[in-house]
Chain A
């Protein structure tokens, strides 16, 4: 390193140092201490007592924990593909009418739910999904369908929460619209010259070209769903009969309701490891399927 490079490096460190302190204090320190607490019996008030792997052993034999994992997996496996496909379809529709300013303006309405705090949306949806007086069952009744007990039935609570989640497609939709606008038009012109049908253009040009955006939305959608808390907490409190009880709620209850911080930390670390493993798996599975324009 030359003298000048060394000087520049030192000044760089000086400028990022305050941020690094914050990161260390409010990010790495809590993460590492939670790892330590996961091996202890800890109620916050008394000093942590080392119990080794006992919290993890309790977790793996706790059927409420496994129910929360199953529910979270349901939301991930059903919710993520459904929301991404819906967002992509709507984004494609807006891309198709991109030349019309009036129709293009309608994008804004899909963003409104993203701007409203989740708790407020959940309260509004609680009223809309009321099985006797809610708007949803009113319209279903007009179609001659006997609407389900959305939030009281153990069978319907999860589909109800997935339905509410569809309101949040605004951000994914915007990312897809940006990706669609970035597809070189020459590719479509060449495909038209070759007589390609719309399905061929969609599957051989559009989808591959927007694949990085799809990957990004799937990973962020998965991470967001795996931490799902506010919607089921407000709508159903995790019930009935734990049918909508998520992993994040299990961590919250153990930490702040039952004051079992060590057990909650162990659950949180398992959640982190699973999220990390799933993210790595997605990257591996998508390795040859994602087209990066800048690749050599």
Chain B
């Protein structure tokens, strides 16, 4: 009996508090966060961080929250911060600097995206930059300079026309520019920003889906589709798209000459078509401003997390520059001077210089911050696809979005 008690007592002394980190990362990103967690576990005796990788993270998180057993840290993209805050699902972390996190190390716009209504809710971890990818071989074939991407929207349309090819039956064989015909990989919310517009009023939070600049941006996209052909021709062409992360990706397989997407397209090319010659540049904007859409992976603390102190300790540890620079991303969330200071910690990343050179010149913008982001995103996606496939006009589609969003906010009691 005494020996049993002593064993129990000893085990209590060495008992760790388990801090769970829920993420939907797989592959290299999962390996990075796991190695950071292992390092954190090895340098202190109080907490043991457990990385839990799940699919359908939104549903699983919601279930765990409803059950009163949420993870201590949740990995969320920045556009979900506002909905999570509006639901009362996450804690603010205004005091995280006490745990050693230096907020001054972050790029200002990156830090701003982690805030909502004056409070800090998330720790940014990783950043993806979006822009225009082009196939240099197809550029050469069309008689275009492969090293000169279009610098204006007018040029882009002209290039798209030259690059589009048809077969003897009039079916599209190669598409000049794909702005997002595939419903699973389309970023419908970015286009108004490239025309100088916004999707919400930043001060009041009001939805501005049918503002003149939003409609103008979608009209431009509709003009592209009209230039390519009919609804049936586009449907037939897009119907031949293969899975995104495969050698049947339309851009990687040479079916699309230019596309809009995130820096991970470089990874897809390296895996499935490493001989492809390609380029990346900021997507042209209507007013000539160099800008790039960005998505940020962040860590938040759910409401009801049982080990908040441990969660904050780990989040502050992840936010150390030498750990942030381990993430396999071409551009980190840190200010330039901190990247240079910790240059030795940067993990080698193919094509890093290309993305960094562009990143340093552009103004970053993000998805709009609104508590009804999921509904807004779904409605905009539907509107964009209807416009791209010439089923409706931008005015009608965006008026519809505006009306439905007004309803969605009323249903939320706002």
Contacts and interface: CB of A to CB of B under 8 A. Distances in A.
A259 B239 contact: no
Contact of A58 (B184, B374, B407): B407
Contacts of B408: 258
A266 to B, nearest CB: 11
Given A240-B385, A258-B374, A44 B239 contact: no
Interface string B54-69: 0000110010011000
B142 interface: no
Interface in B359-408: 372, 374-375, 378, 382, 385-386, 389, 391, 404, 407-408
A221 to B, nearest CB: 28
Interface in A229-245: 237, 239-242
A133 B62 contact: no
Contacts of A260: 411
| Most interface-central of A44, A149, A154, A253 (chain B CB within 10 A) | A149
Interface residues of B, number: 34
B238 interface: yes
B240 A130 contact: yes
A150 B239 contact: yes
Contacts of A56: none
Nearest to A257: B374
A45 B65 contact: yes
Nearest to A242: B382
B43 interface: no
A198 to B, nearest CB: 44
A253 B65 contact: no
A196 B374 CA distance: 65
Interface string A51-79: 00000001000101000000000000000
A133 B238 CA distance: 11
B411 A263 contact: yes
| Most interface-central of A62, A150, A260, A263 (chain B CB within 10 A) | A260
Interface in A199-258: 237, 239-242, 253, 256-258
Contacts of A132: 236-237, 239-240
Contact of A44 (B65, B372, B375, B412): B65
Nearest to B255: A132
B232 interface: yes
A242 B389 CA distance: 14
Contacts of A237: 183-184
A200 B413 CA distance: 64
A240 B235 CA distance: 10
A46 B240 contact: no
B58 A256 contact: yes
Given A131-B240, A241-B385, A256-B58, A45 B391 contact: no
B87 interface: yes
B88 interface: yes
A253 B59 CA distance: 11
Contacts of B407: 58, 62
B239 A241 contact: no
Interface residues of A, number: 31
Given A45-B87, A58-B411, A132-B236, A258 B375 contact: yes
A285 to B, nearest CB: 38
| Most interface-central of A133, A149, A152, A263 (chain B CB within 10 A) | A152
A242 B379 CA distance: 11
Contacts of A131: 235-236, 239-240
B382 A149 contact: no
B382 to A, nearest CB: 7
B405 to A, nearest CB: 12
Given A43-B87, A58-B407, A239-B385, A151 B374 contact: no
A153 interface: yes
Contacts of B184: 237
Given A131-B239, A152-B235, 9 more contacts: A132-B236, A152-B236, A153-B232, A237-B183, A239-B385, A240-B386, A240-B389, A241-B386, A259-B62
Interface of A: 41, 43-46, 49, 58, 62, 64, 130-133, 149-154, 237, 239-242, 253, 256-260, 263
Counting from the closest, the 8 A-B pairs by CB-CB distance are A132-B240, A131-B239, A152-B235, A149-B235, A152-B239, A44-B66, A149-B239, A45-B89
22 contacts: A41-B412, A43-B87, A44-B62, A44-B66, A45-B66, A45-B89, A131-B235, A131-B239, A132-B236, A133-B240, A149-B232, A149-B235, A149-B236, A152-B236, A152-B238, A153-B232, A240-B183, A241-B385, A257-B58, A258-B372, A259-B374, A263-B411
Interface of B: 58-59, 62, 65-66, 83, 87-89, 183-184, 232, 235-240, 303, 372, 374-375, 378, 382, 385-386, 389, 391, 404, 407-408, 411-413
